[in-house]
Structure 1
């Protein structure tokens, strides 16, 4: 470090002089602090999409179906891990599944897929899992897990809400809906979008529902748009344009339409 002035002189120095005076010279000599870290390429798991229909077709070939027991075991976290390796047009899956009836017993399940996600062959270490056409509950559990990888194991409810843009919405989608719903009650699209969301008009009915509430009837009323024509609403609509123009003049803004 360069020779410093007395501390009482620091207050009289300009910012550039202070930076020069207090600069750690060792940092300048060792600015790289060794070799530069090279970031490794991010791992990308290129796995074909496996659909429930493809799993059903494989099971049907051997007169079987995806048993509820396999789905229940998957939900109960009997599946320990899944690994994969790809070679040319084939993808090889290795799953480790805990035995249902025995503690500390894990079966290895091997599955071969093609690039389209079609099941080619399977085998399992359990007594009923002889390959290459194994279709035991452990194979079924791994196949069921593969169908979940494409959507992050989301529930049907979550996927439906996402498809209608309710739980998450982008800025572009927001602007598009805003344009399409101009006119509110006179716009059919506004009514359709309104049915997809909880708003002040129906929030109280949901919160005050009790065991005595007819929930099917309540759900039906919430999913069917009705153009209400009460005397109060008719009165408001008659004077809406007048009130809007008066507000525009009072606030010295351009006339607007909701």
Structure 2
């Protein structure tokens, strides 16, 4: 699979124009059954997707993402090519199941669901880092509203 230069990729956000992609397109490309799709959706919702970037070259949209491994802290690089209609044409993943020209592993599926979610809802669930969470020591303590204790 011929990929564009890494400088042409831009982070995916709500202003990024992506081709239309829905769940049936993903299921047809991956040849997954409903039970396996539910597993992939759970992985996506538990924020296994680390980063997603896109590059448009001609009629094709190239999407590069990093997906966390299920059991360990390793991450795999995933590449997907979408045509102008949103159909995935080719994919590649660094995992053992995703080698070759058409990877059909769960890491590719997680990135596809991230793209679908961005197209439909303009929202992408990525893994949160510690600096994205509110500091807990600045949150005021809950006031005591009960009656005073008699001595």
Query: TM-score w.r.t. structure 2 length?
Result: 0.66
Q: Does the 8 Å contact 2:27/2:37 carry over to 1? A: no
Q: Does the 8 Å contact 2:82/2:88 carry over to 1? A: yes
Aligned-partner SS, 2:78: strand
Choose between structure 1 and 2 for higher RCO, CA contacts under 8 A separated by at least 6 residues.
2
Of 20, 39, 44, the residue aligned with 1:49 is 20
Q: 2:101 aligns to what?
A: 132
CA distance in structure 1 between the aligned counterparts of 2:97 and 2:25, rounded to whole angstroms: 21
Q: 1:80 aligns to what?
A: 50
Measured at CA, do residues 149 and 44 of structure 1 come closer, stay the same or move farther in structure 2, by a change above 3 Å?
closer
Q: Does the 8 Å contact 1:67/1:137 carry over to 2? A: no
Q: Deviations over 1:119-153 (max 9, x none)?
A: 00111001100131111111111111111112226
Aligned-residue CA RMSD (Å): 1.9
Aligned-partner SS, 1:84: strand
Query: TM-score w.r.t. structure 1 length?
Result: 0.40
Q: Deviations over 1:208-255 (max 9, x none)?
A: xxxxxxxxxxxxxxxxxxxxxxxxxxxxxxxxxxxxxxxxxxxxxxxx
Q: Does the 8 Å contact 2:18/2:119 carry over to 1? A: no
CA distance in structure 1 between the aligned counterparts of 2:68 and 2:90, rounded to whole angstroms: 21
Aligned-partner SS, 1:150: helix
Decide which structure has greater strand share: 2
CA distance in structure 2 between the aligned counterparts of 1:59 and 1:48, rounded to whole angstroms: 18
Decide which structure has greater helix share: 1
Mapped pair 1:121 → 2:121: no
CA distance in structure 2 between the aligned counterparts of 1:141 and 1:76, rounded to whole angstroms: 10
5+ long unaligned stretches in structure 2: 1-13, 124-151
Higher-Rg structure is 1
Q: 1:89 aligns to what?
A: 59
CA distance in structure 1 between the aligned counterparts of 2:44 and 2:15, rounded to whole angstroms: 25
